[in-house]
Each structure stands twice: as structure tokens, then as C-alpha cells.
A and B are shown apart, each in its own frame.
Chain A
Amino acid sequence: MPEPPRLPDEMLLRYTDVPEGRIRSRVLGRPQPDALPVVVVQGMAVSDYLLPACAALGSWTEVHLFDVPGFGGSGQPTRHLDVRGYGEALVHWLEATSLDRAVVVGHSSGTQVAAWAGVLAPDRVAAVGLASPTIDPIARPLPKLIYRWRLDARSPSPGLEENHLPEWKRAGIAGAVHLVRVHLADRIEEQVGRLRMPVLVIRAADDRLTTDHWVHELAASAGGDLVTVRGAHAFLWLDPGAWSAPLRQLSAEAR
């Protein structure tokens, strides 16, 4: 039986005001002269589960785990935000924190936000990483998304849902409904096709929310690379280091 990962012991907690609200970010690792900083965008309503994976990236660069307004530890949004709006918040946060060039990486629904950031701020976003991107047409509309999410959850991920619980409570039903609605309304394909920086797509072999074909097309539309790793949709929970080497290479490419 796999074991839940160890959460990092130390990190820097930072709050930054942007027009869309107060953003909580958590900083791991240190700036390195030979690597761009990495910004990781949380998944749907949850971000703590990414801490071990951020710590893994922290071994070679400075990593910022970004919570979108209204979720995780960020403040309430100042206006209605759709996925584009979350992308704007991220861009404004990059400006406010003086991150002039960074690799922006999303996991799951965070990939949609990361893709928007790449569209909105091509000067600041040096590369885009999409780990377990969403939403494959196979998981549309909503009933299929829920079915596939639960199907994927059959893969053993001990401790993952317990880790999500406090953040799910914070999001509440209304927050969760909002997130699902705006992410379903958004089509990541449209944004990825417009990205002009290096793009890397990471697919977990057992991800039940995506198909090989769609992920392949997504990467190809941006002229990006596709890497397949082991595990299910939330592969980073049990294998936090799985994305480290491919993202390090992406960072090197973007420098």
C-alpha cells in the first residue's frame, strides 16, 4: 500500500494584494542563478496537496504555490472571476511580486489558469507546464466530469481526500459549483493554441479524466512536448518528484 507523502516542514507564507483580491502564496526553495522561478497554480479549490510536489521543485529553484482568489488561503475575490479572471489575477500577482520571468505550471484545473496567464502575459511567462490538463471533451458535460473524477479516485491515494477536506470546506458548495461552471465554460485548447513560449504537457498514464489522443493534440497545438508519468490524475500526491526533471528541462529551455 502506498504511503502519503511528507508535507514540507518550512515555507514562506506571503500575502499580496492584487485588483482581484488578496493572494496567498507559499514559497519553497531558493532563487538559483541557473534556473527560472516556478509558479504553481492550485487545482480545483485545493492547493495543500501540491506542497510536497512544490518542495520537490524547491530542490533546484524557487517555487511559488499560488492560490486563486476565493480558494485555498487567498481572500475573497473583488469581482466575479471566471478562468480568464483567475489568469488576470495571476498576471497581476506576477507584476506585484516583480516576477519578471517565471515558468508557470498548473495542475488539473490550474492548467487552465496557467494557460490564460501565458496568453495574457507572454513577456512574463517564460514557459507553461500543464500537468494533468483539463477538461478533455471526454469529461464533458458535467455528469461525465463527475463520473470520470470518481472513476479516477478509485486509484489508491491514501490521505489525499483527508488533505483536501479543510479546503473543500472553505470553498463550500457555492464555491465548488462556481469553479466547476467556469472551468467547464473555458476551453483550454483555445488558449494553448495561442501560446508562443515553450509548453510542456504531463499526463499520468492512469488519468481517467483525459485521453492520450486529446493530450497529444493539446501539446502539438502549441508545438510543445508531452511526457507521460505513472499514476492517476493526482499523480503528484504519491510521486511528488515525478514532474521535477521534466519541468527542470522546460525551465532550462525557456532561459
Chain B
Amino acid sequence: MPGRSRQVPPEQAVASFDSASAFLLALARALDGRDFPYLGQSWLKALPVRASVLLPRPLRCRVYAIVSGREGIAVDRLGDIDLDEVASWVARTYPDRRYPAVLVGSSNGALTHLAAACGVPWLPQTLLVPVRRRGADPADMLAALEFGARHGPALLAHNPRVELHHMQDANQDALSGSQMAYFRVKWTGLPPAYERFLDERLEPDAPVVVVRDTSTWPVTHVGDRHVFQVGAQGGMVPEEYLDAPDVPAPDRTAAEAEWGFAEPLLDGLREAARRTRHPVVELRYGHPQDPAAAVADLLRSWTRHRGGPAQRLLVSSFVLHDPWRTITTGSVPFWTFFPVQSAARALCDYLASTSYDDVDVMLFNHGVESRGLADARTWRRIAERARRRGRLLGVDPRAFPADFAVFARYTSALRSLPDGGLPWSPLSVEDALAGLRGAEKLSVVGG
């Protein structure tokens, strides 16, 4: 069939550097008892990343922009993407067995750590389709909107079950935004592969846990199932983005492109859960940073229950995380959604409420001194609240936020942490949900 042969392979249709795919790959590896080296890339690819430290900073940033842009799909291939096939690839990524629960919905690094501890998979609602757009001016919102209006319909026409949240963030994605457009797609109807997953890959009565990040963003309606979002969760609030000149006026509010949960999926999910006889539980919170403290507390008590001292706080940063290594080293994870001031404040608040002997902080690097960024000194100062040793792990503070070698270096840094000497037995889903009930900034509904 000619149409079939043109189809974009599912694993190439979505960005590997994105939060959703990184959490998916890291979690799938954790469920198979493996760590997550080099952000899921081969060690051969890690060599030039490490060597990037030798380049002068402007050149290093340029190379980063071009390399991240290379992942982009050509606009004439957008009609060849079958997102139902992508959902099948997601389901296939997890080890083939039955699970005691499944998370479905918003991306969240803290909940990825939790899912790994429970030994349960997560099916993302949102994925990023990177679209090649070389030489673009990331600050030109009108051109970006026009680009999306021209090319979005091809993707949507072949994928009736998704809505497109085209996101343009000149603050934090200034480098990769010069090479590609961020087409974030959200399933509003349950893809068949997810429904089959509920049917065939869950133990009887296993709960379907809907992860609902209720964060929203003002957007501009572009077309049917298509909105345009200026800016993103991070160092700035929507108003700051919208104050810039020549920004398309927003005319509605929608689920935030990367993290927010789009409500229409809920009905299909509830119906499929009812049909397959699985109870539905909802985890609700208002910002991607919100679950981190509750998850850290929960996993600290789990680690203690396993016989460990739980005295190392391992701070993961955006996609820079390793759920399995966190477990085997007996560390407690505190995930930060981006290395920005609000996340630094959340970590600060957490460390004011409890203390650790060791605090190791990893930092994601996106190449630019974006507004709202917390600098390396700030992070180090927070880490130094540790009773014994606080430090930045695997990151060169002088090169932050353009220390791209950290994407390779974090692997050896994590491997150098001593093994916790604790056998792994999954945290029961029941205990996990019970532990989250009553936690601040998070509510557990149902179950």
C-alpha cells in the first residue's frame, strides 16, 4: 500500500528530547529494572555531547539548536503521521506483562518517579511532534501562528482524535525554537491502543489513575481542534508573555500545552475503564511542580520501610532524571519541572520542612539565560542546606545553562553514587494513593 509505506515511523514522529517521551522511556526502562543513561540515547551519541564542552559558548549553543532541530519532521510529512500508531508504540514500549495500575494523562516527572516505585506504567495524553522550521525567528509570534495555521491542518486531518496545541516560547526555547515548531498533540478521545492496554495489560480491578494537571494558558483559536499558545510554564507568567509587542491576542483558555490535561479525554477514559471493569482514581493538581514534595515524602517513607536511611535527596530537573537509579541508590527524588526560580522556591520550601544528610542537585540546561531562571549559585546554595554535603551533580556551574555535556555527564555522576543496598519490592498502589491523600497541593479523588 503506497500510503502505508510513507507513514512516519511512530518513534520518529515524536521528539525524543521532550518531557513526555523522556518520562515514557525512563519509566519503561525502570519497569524493566534498567537505568536511563544518556537520556535514552546510545553512548555513541553521548560522545559528541560530552565533547561539546570544548566549543566556545556561542558555537556550542548554535550546535545545540541545530542538533535539536534535526529531530523536526518536514512539513510535507505531517500528513503521514498516524498518532494512533504512536499510541501503539507507547503501549509497546512497556515490558509485556499485567500491571497493578496504570497512570494516564499529564506528564509529570515526580509522578514518573512514583510510578517507577510502584512498578506501574504511564500513558501520556500529550506528545510533542517537532516540525522542522529552520531559520525561524522564535520571537516572531505572528509568523509562528501563520506557520501553524498553514501546516497544522495536515496533521489534524489524519488524526481526528487529537487536538493541536502549537506552542511558541521565545524565552526558554530560543535555541531550538529557531529550528523547529512545537506541535503538541493531546488525545481527546482514547486511542485504541490505550483502550487495549486497559483491557489486556492490567490486573483485575487495577485502578486507572487519571493524572490531571489543571494548569491552563490563554491561547488563540486557530482552527478546529487547533490553538496557539505563546509562552509556556517556566520562568514567566502568561501576562508577561502577552505584554510583548505583536503577540496574537488570546481569545480563550486551554489546557497548558506541555503539562495541562485536556478534559475531553476524561469521558472516553471513564467509559473504557467502566467497560474493562477498572476503578478510576483522579490525581489533581494545579501546576507541574505541585506533586514533587508529596511524592518525595511518600518515597522517603517507602525507602525507610525498605530499611534504608533515606538521607540522600536527589533533585531531578525536567528530563534529567533516572527513576531506576534513584531507587537502587536508595535516594529520595525531588523533581523540579524546570531550573527556574519557582522550582527553586519549591525545593527551598521542601528543605525547610525536612532535612537530609545529602542533597544532590541535577540541572537541565537549555542554553539561554531565560527570564525567571535560577542560576547555578542559587541551586548550590539550596543544596548546601544538606546536613552533611550539598552539591550540584554532574553539572558545571560556570557553563550553566549552556552546559550541554550534562546530558551525558549525569549518567556517570549517578553511577558514581553508592548503591543503597536495598532490595526492590514495589510500593503498593494502594499505599501510594493513601500516602498522597491529604497531601498539600494535590488531591486524590475516587478509589
* Candidates B34, B95, B97, B424; contact of A88 at CB < 8 Å: B424
Are B423's CB and A92's CB within 8 A?
Answer: yes
Cα A81 to Cα B31 in complex, Å, equals 11
Does A120 touch B at the CB level, under 8 Å? yes
Does B88 touch A at the CB level, under 8 Å? no
Does B426 touch A at the CB level, under 8 Å? yes
A85-B33, A119-B419 are contacts. A19–B426 as well, Cβ < 8 Å?
yes
Distance in angstroms from A114 CB to nearest chain B CB is 14
Interface residues of B in 390-446 (CB under 8 A from A): 419, 421-426
B interface secondary structure, majority:
loop
The interface size of chain B toward A, counting residues with CB under 8 Å, comes to 14
Cα A91 to Cα B422 in complex, Å, equals 10
Are A82's CB and B33's CB within 8 A?
Answer: yes
Distance in angstroms from B121 CB to nearest chain A CB is 13
Are A19's CB and B32's CB within 8 A?
Answer: no
Are B419's CB and A19's CB within 8 A?
Answer: no
Does A249 touch B at the CB level, under 8 Å? no
Are B425's CB and A120's CB within 8 A?
Answer: no
- Can you list, as one digit per residue, whether each of A89-125 has a CB less than 8 Å from chain B (1) or not (0)? 0011000000000000000000000000001110000
* Candidates B31, B33, B34, B421; contact of A120 at CB < 8 Å: B421
The interface size of chain A toward B, counting residues with CB under 8 Å, comes to 17
Does B342 touch A at the CB level, under 8 Å? no
Does B328 touch A at the CB level, under 8 Å? yes
Distance in angstroms from B89 CB to nearest chain A CB is 20
Interface residues of B in 91-109 (CB under 8 A from A): 95, 97
Does A16 touch B at the CB level, under 8 Å? no
Query: Chain B residue with minimal CB distance to A18?
Result: B425
Are B32's CB and A79's CB within 8 A?
Answer: yes
Query: Chain A residue with minimal CB distance to B30?
Result: A79
Most chain B CB neighbours (cut-off 10 Å) among A78, A79, A88, A119: A79
Residue contacts A-B, CB under 8 angstroms, 25 given = A19-B425, A19-B426, A78-B97, A79-B31, A79-B32, A79-B33, A79-B95, A80-B32, A80-B34, A81-B33, A82-B33, A84-B328, A84-B419, A85-B33, A88-B423, A88-B424, A91-B423, A92-B423, A92-B425, A119-B419, A120-B422, A120-B423, A121-B423, A190-B419, A194-B421
